[in-house]
Chain A
Amino acid sequence: MENNKLMKLTLKIWRQKDAKAKGGFETYQVEGISPDTSFLEMLDILNNKLIHEGREPVAFDHDCREGICGMCSLYINGKAHGPDSEITTCQLHMRKFKDGDTITIEPWRSAAFPVIRDLVVERQAFDKILQAGGFVSVNTGGVPDANSIPIPKADADESMDAAACIGCGACVATCKNGSAMLFVAARVSSLAKLPQGRVEAQRRAKAMVAKMDELGFGNCTNTGACQAECPKGINIAHIARLNREFLSAKFKD
């Protein structure tokens, strides 16, 4: 707040017409940016300027702008969601940069996330993994009483911590192997910790891992980069739980 100085920035942004086109960086200047501007607002300002100049605005994903929907992405200066921890790009503010900085903005880069345009990538692969097992089966008919299945608070908390995953894909973009293990682990773990999800826990782990492999995601080599860049701070201990579920399912085969 005390830093009232408006900033002038140079942006190097990845532009790519569509999935097939060859992309490249283009350089833009923005001026008069308040440090209290969010990163996406700064891009809005740039786009408004580009449109007025008769140039193509930069395509980027966004929705809630509160850090809870998982739509925004962006690789900023070589880091997923930019230079701050446990936030999404929409929560990143320009005060994290200095006047005169050059900022490099790229899309998520992963074989499983093809570029749709500029900074927008196709993340349907995550939906397909979820469809493979990210659900619990419930009986039809009368709704059961909410308190009929007691769940220890520690389990509920752990499940909720895993459920905090917003499916943004930062883990995949960050991982040198392009692995979706943290995403899959968060889903498997959050359901495996609850009695409702226990029933299908092992089948789920197998189905989701198989889908992940099929869709071209890489394998996990425990570098821990995903945890460091996860905007929701999902712990890689969940990957251990996924492995446990997966292995015990395999032994039963």
Chain B
Amino acid sequence: MEDVKAIRNGAKKASDIEEKDRDYYLERRYPAFGNLVPRDVASRAAKERCDAGFGVNETGLAVFLDFKTAIERLGEDVIRARYGNLFQMYEKITDVDPYKEPMMIYPAVHYTMGGLWVDYNLMTTVPGLYAIGEANFSDHGANRLGASALMQGLADGYFVLPYTIGDYLSKKIQAPKVATDTPAFDAAEKAVREKIDKLLAIKGKHTVDEFHKKLGNVMWEDVGMARSKESLERAIAQIAQLRKEFWKDVYVPGENGEFNQEIEKALRLVDFLELGELMARDALNRNESCGGHFRVEYQTPEGETLRDDEKYAYVAVWEYKGADTAPEMHKEELHFEVAHPAQRNYKD
């Protein structure tokens, strides 16, 4: 712990810490895989170390990733050819040279890893509206690696859409231009205008960013890489409260009809508040650990995900029932005929 303090206050650099005083926590826990454990395991372990007080950086929210031995083994040129762009990015952001000093890393949430229901043709519940890439159900599980989002976008766009969207378009090729002077269009336009006017009229005391940050904290702490019944129930209550406060006390400056980034942010946050709560509800319903969803109550003694295929071998599809009504769940059963799900094992 003295070393941790010394590093945090700048008295010591990571490279000053002797080999014997280092705790290679992944290698300690997973001797067979070490740093090559899947991303979810590595991420949870990093957060666990930081939560336990061993985090470095001024914030205490980082662990070290040292390329020293890799550079000794392969040479700096090889490492530069492989990771040069990332190392450059790291150096610019942290002001630390990753070729000389261990990198400070910390897990972060990016994207929701899927969301919209689509059929096998990748069409949503709105006819003609296709969702490709990670906006749809998402192919990725716990070990969702970097650029996976890009991969799914490319795979859907290159391998699926060319074979499916044509089928829809072939029947619409004679369709006239969609008219905007219809009751449906008027109703949609009116709803959006009313929503914006409502936001502008609140004139409360807190900015959109302040609410956004609060929501982010709830999601990170309670709906993040490791969830529990308790944390999820707490999150649902907190989000409901936050939404109530948002609609009472947000301040969106400026006017409608002008270039106004605060309105844009506010509208997005309204969606995030909904989506965040839905994610928590879904996670609470699923009393097992599976893929990117890790419930602390459901794990093997080794800390691996523990599925319950008897009860949860289905995809949960939540139907929107309106802003103030609980969503309704539909189940799509999963049947495995050839490849059967098994227990992942990174211990031996």
Contact residues, A84-109 vs B (CB, 8 A) = 84, 86-87, 91-93, 95
* A4 CB to nearest B CB, Å: 8
Interface size for A (C-beta < 8 A) is 32
Is B171 engaged at the interface, CB distance under 8 Å to the other chain? Answer: no
Is B262 engaged at the interface, CB distance under 8 Å to the other chain? Answer: yes
* Stretch binding the partner chain, chosen from A51-59, A127-135, A238-246: A51-59
Is B207 engaged at the interface, CB distance under 8 Å to the other chain? Answer: yes
CA distance A179 to B225 in the complex (A): 47
> What is the chain B residue whose CB lies nearest that of A52?
B207
Per DSSP, are chain A's interface residues mostly helix, strand or loop, or mixed?
A: loop
Are A51 and B89 also in contact (CB < 8 A) when A1-B96, A18-B258 are?
no
Q: Are B10 and A51 in contact, with the CB atoms below 8 A?
A: no
CA distance A117 to B258 in the complex (A): 9
Contact residues, A1-59 vs B (CB, 8 A) = 1-2, 4, 17-18, 36, 38, 44, 47-48, 51-52, 54-57, 59
B89, B94, B254 — most chain A CB neighbours (10 Å): B89
Q: Are A66 and B259 in contact, with the CB atoms below 8 A?
A: no
Q: Are A2 and B92 in contact, with the CB atoms below 8 A?
A: no
Q: Are B58 and A1 in contact, with the CB atoms below 8 A?
A: yes
Q: Are A2 and B10 in contact, with the CB atoms below 8 A?
A: yes
Per DSSP, are chain B's interface residues mostly helix, strand or loop, or mixed?
A: helix
Is A221 engaged at the interface, CB distance under 8 Å to the other chain? Answer: no
**Cβ 8 A contact of B251, one of A1, A51, A143:** A51
> What is the chain A residue whose CB lies nearest that of B209?
A48
Contact with B along A123-160 (1 / 0, CB 8 A): 00000000000000000100100000000000000000
> What is the chain A residue whose CB lies nearest that of B58?
A1
> What is the chain A residue whose CB lies nearest that of B166?
A140
Q: Are B95 and A93 in contact, with the CB atoms below 8 A?
A: yes
Is B173 engaged at the interface, CB distance under 8 Å to the other chain? Answer: no
* A57 CB to nearest B CB, Å: 6
Sorting the interface of chain B by its residue count into under 10, 10 to 19, 20 to 34 or 35 or more gives 20 to 34
Is A116 engaged at the interface, CB distance under 8 Å to the other chain? Answer: yes
Q: Are A57 and B253 in contact, with the CB atoms below 8 A?
A: yes
**Cβ 8 A contact of B89, one of A44, A57, A67:** A67
Chain A residues with Cβ below 8 Å from B89 are 66-67, 91
Contact with A along B243-286 (1 / 0, CB 8 A): 00000000101100011011000000000000000000000000
Are A91 and B93 also in contact (CB < 8 A) when A2-B10, A48-B209, A56-B253 are?
yes
Q: Are B258 and A95 in contact, with the CB atoms below 8 A?
A: no
**Cβ 8 A contact of A36, one of B58, B209, B259:** B58
* B152 CB to nearest A CB, Å: 16
Q: Are B261 and A57 in contact, with the CB atoms below 8 A?
A: yes
Are A48 and B210 also in contact (CB < 8 A) when A36-B58, A91-B89 are?
yes
**Cβ 8 A contact of A143, one of B94, B158, B209, B258:** B158
* B1 CB to nearest A CB, Å: 19
Chain A residues with Cβ below 8 Å from B162 are 140
> What is the chain B residue whose CB lies nearest that of A38?
B93
**Cβ 8 A contact of A84, one of B58, B92, B94, B262:** B92
Are A143 and B95 also in contact (CB < 8 A) when A48-B210, A116-B259 are?
no
Chain B residues with Cβ below 8 Å from A36 are 58
Is B88 engaged at the interface, CB distance under 8 Å to the other chain? Answer: yes
Contact residues, B45-97 vs A (CB, 8 A) = 57-58, 85, 88-89, 92-96
> What is the chain A residue whose CB lies nearest that of B93?
A91
Contact with A along B130-171 (1 / 0, CB 8 A): 000000000000000000000000000011001000000000
Are A48 and B10 also in contact (CB < 8 A) when A56-B254, A93-B93, A120-B259 are?
no
* A237 CB to nearest B CB, Å: 19
Chain A residues with Cβ below 8 Å from B209 are 44, 47-48
Contact residues, A184-229 vs B (CB, 8 A) = none
B57, B96, B261 — most chain A CB neighbours (10 Å): B261
Q: Are A86 and B251 in contact, with the CB atoms below 8 A?
A: no
> What is the chain B residue whose CB lies nearest that of A164?
B85
Chain A residues with Cβ below 8 Å from B85 are 164
Given A4-B10, A36-B58: 9 more A-B contacts, CB < 8 Å: A1-B57, A1-B96, A48-B207, A51-B253, A56-B253, A59-B259, A91-B93, A93-B93, A140-B162
Q: Which 5 A-B pairs have the closest CB atoms?
A: A117-B259, A2-B10, A91-B92, A51-B207, A87-B92
- A interface with B by C-beta (< 8 Å): 1-2, 4, 17-18, 36, 38, 44, 47-48, 51-52, 54-57, 59, 66-67, 84, 86-87, 91-93, 95, 116-117, 120, 140, 143, 164
